[in-house]
Amino acid sequence: MALLRAALAQPFSPRPALPVRHPPTSLTGSGLSLDFSLPPHPGVGAPRRAYPRIEATARRGARTESAKVRNRRLQKKFNGTATKPRLSVFCSNRQLYAVLADDHNKKILFYGSTLQKSICGDPPCGTVEAARRVGEELVRVCNELGISEVSYDRNGFARGDKMMAFEVPVSQHGFLPR
């Protein structure tokens, strides 16, 4: 069969022939009648594939959702009250920002960052040490306000050096479940 296709200058395909969509070409010679049925060529200059194309597909919406949309969706779950406020932490490449928010009354109970002069001190310390001081300041303010538990929202940020330094005093006070 392959020799006959080579003689006719038709490409060889190991897959079985597809259903006929055009009239077959017949070859008659010395009492032998053969019919070749090949599907039409897929395109000019495009080679035929010997095997079907494999496509890998992910779940719907996987890794296409933006960080802002994901954060807005998760804020519905982390809704802060006066007795259990939301502790939202933003960690950039250089700094760490922490906000203790009462979402029902729309009030900020505490704001601390590694940029504040009162936290960094004079001379200024490194950002990891400043992140630890932000955590200590947060615990002090929570004791003053009589807050015994918080809803922790780290906005999907990985627990790097600054985040871990911030979480140590907060978890020692019993705010974070470990």
Range of the domain at 117: 67-173
pLDDT at 70 over 90: no
Closest by CA position to 73, among listed 155, 165, 174: 155
List CB contacts of 140: < 8 A, sequence separation 6 or more: none
Residue 89 domain-assigned?
yes
Three-class SS state of 71: helix
| Residue 130: predicted pLDDT | 92
Name the pTM for this structure. Answer: 0.58
Read off the pLDDT of residues 130-169 as tens digits, 9 standing for 90 and up: 999 999 999 999 999 999 888 887 777 777 888 889 999 9
Residue 98 domain-assigned?
yes
Amino acid at 49: R
Q: Apex CA 166: angle with CA 163 and CA 169, to 5°?
A: 145
pLDDT at 7 over 80: no
Q: Do residues 112 and 134 make contact, with C-beta atoms less than 8 angstroms apart? A: yes
Residue 46 domain-assigned?
no
Q: Where residue 85 sits, what CATH number does that domain have? A: 3.30.420.100
Residue 3 domain-assigned?
no
Beta pairing partners, 153: 88
Counted domains in the chain? 1
